[in-house]
C-alpha cells in the first residue's frame, strides 16, 4: 500500500501530539492526565497503521463497524483494549463478542433490546462481564442514535438491575455534526451523569463520560470528559470505499 509507512509514522507523531494536548487540557481543568483515556479510533484504516500507533506505546483503540473490528483484531496483539463505539445491531452482537475476546467496552448501548442481547451473549459464551456505556442523544438530532436524556436513568437502571453480565461504566454522547452547540451537548451529558448517580447511588467518579472527538476534545476534557475518541487527528482523513458495502 503506497504511502503507508509515511502515514504510519505520521500517525505515531500525531498520537503524541494528541496525548500532549489532552494532558494540557486536563491540567487546565485541575485534573490529572491519567484520568483521561484516549481511544484511537481506527475506522477505515489498515492494520499496518494501527500497528505503528501500537508500537508507539498506545493500547486503546476503537472501531465503529463490527466487520472491521472482527477483521482487524485477530491480526493485532491481544493486549489491545478494544472499544466498540458504533451503532450495534442485535444480529452482530455474537460475531463481535466471539471474534474479539479482548473487547473491553461497548460504548453505544442505546436501548433495552441491545442491552438484553449483549447480556445474553456474554452469559452464553462464558466471558467475564462486559463494560458498557449508555449512549445519550444530547443534540436531539434524529440522525443520531442514543436514548433521550429523559430516558437515561431508566435505561441505566435496566442495565444495572436486569443485565448481570454487563457492567455499567458510564455515559457516552456524540456532539452536533457541526459542533455549533457542543458545550450544550457536553453539559447535558454531565447533567445526565448527575441524575443517574443520584438516582442509583453511584459515585460520580465511578461513572465515565465519553465525549469529545478530534475537533473538540480539549473542551470536552475541560467539561468533565474521562474518555475521548480521536480518529482523524491521529490517523488522517477517513478512506471510504467508492462502492457501497453490503
Answer whether residue 117 is part of any domain: yes
C-alpha cell at 216: 473538540
Answer whether residue 42 is part of any domain: yes
Residue-wise pLDDT for 156-168, tens only, equals 999 999 999 999 9
Answer whether residue 17 is part of any domain: no
Answer whether residue 149 is part of any domain: yes
| Predicted pLDDT of residue 143 | 81
Q: Are 101 and 95 in contact (CB under 8 A)?
A: no
Residue 210 scores a pLDDT above 60: yes
Instruction: Count how many domains the chain has.
Output: 1
**How far is Cα of residue 145 from the mean position of the Cα atoms in its chain?**
14
Answer whether residue 18 is part of any domain: no
Confidence of residue 7 (pLDDT cuts 50, 70, 90): low
Among residues 65, 8, 11, which one has the least CA distance to residue 214?
11
Work out whether strand 166-172 and strand 103-109 pair parallel, antiparallel, or are unpaired.
Answer: unpaired
Q: Report if pTM > 0.85.
A: yes
Q: Are 86 and 63 in contact (CB under 8 A)?
A: yes
Confidence of residue 189 (pLDDT cuts 50, 70, 90): very high
C-alpha cell at 155: 435505561
Phi and psi angles of residue 209, each rounded to the nearest 5 degrees, phi first: -120, 110
Answer whether residue 12 is part of any domain: no
Distance CA 235, CA 9 (A): 10
Residue 114 scores a pLDDT above 90: yes
C-alpha cell at 78: 491481544
Average pLDDT, the chain: 92
Q: What are the start-end ranges of the E strands in the chain?
A: 37-41, 60-63, 81-84, 103-109, 130-135, 166-172, 208-210, 227-230
Answer whether residue 4 is part of any domain: no
Residue 170 scores a pLDDT above 60: yes
Answer whether residue 61 is part of any domain: yes
Residue 6 scores a pLDDT above 60: no
**Residue 163, domain CATH:** 3.20.20.10
Q: Between these two residues, 140 and 239, which has the higher pLDDT value?
A: 140
Domain that holds residue 219: 35-230
| Predicted pLDDT of residue 141 | 83
Residue 243 scores a pLDDT above 60: no
Amino acid at each position: 500500500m503506497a504511502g503507508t509507512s509515511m502515514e504510519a509514522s505520521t500517525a505515531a507523531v500525531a498520537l503524541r501530539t494528541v496525548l500532549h494536548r489532552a494532558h494540557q487540557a486536563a491540567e487546565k481543568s485541575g485534573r490529572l492526565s491519567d484520568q483521561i483515556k484516549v481511544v484511537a479510533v481506527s475506522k477505515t484504516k489498515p492494520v499496518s497503521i494501527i500497528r505503528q500507533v501500537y508500537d508507539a506505546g498506545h493500547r486503546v483503540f476503537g472501531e465503529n463497524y463490527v466487520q472491521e473490528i472482527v477483521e482487524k483484531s485477530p491480526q493485532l496483539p491481544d493486549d489491545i483494549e478494544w472499544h466498540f463505539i458504533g451503532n450495534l445491531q442485535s444480529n452482530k452482537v455474537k460475531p463481535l463478542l466471539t471474534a474479539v475476546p479482548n473487547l473491553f467496552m461497548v460504548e453505544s448501548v442505546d436501548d433495552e433490546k441491545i442491552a438484553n442481547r449483549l447480556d445474553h451473549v456474554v452469559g452464553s459464551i462464558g466471558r467475564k462481564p462486559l463494560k458498557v456505556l449508555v449512549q445519550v442523544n444530547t443534540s436531539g438530532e434524529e440522525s443520531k442514535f442514543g436514548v433521550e436524556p429523559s430516558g437515561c436513568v431508566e435505561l441505566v437502571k435496566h442495565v444495572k438491575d436486569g443485565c448481570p453480565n454487563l457492567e455499567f461504566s458510564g455515559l457516552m454522547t456524540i456532539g452536533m455534526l457541526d459542533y455549533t452547540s457542543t458545550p450544550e451537548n457536553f453539559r447535558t451529558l454531565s447533567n445526565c451523569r448527575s441524575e443517574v448517580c443520584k438516582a442509583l447511588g453511584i459515585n460520580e467518579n465511578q461513572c465515565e463520560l465519553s465525549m469529545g472527538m478530534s475537533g473538540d476534545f480539549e473542551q470536552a476534557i475541560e467539561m468533565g470528559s474521562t474518555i475521548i475518541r480521536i480518529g482523524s487527528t491521529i490517523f488522517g482523513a477517513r478512506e471510504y470505499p467508492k462502492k457501497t458495502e453490503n
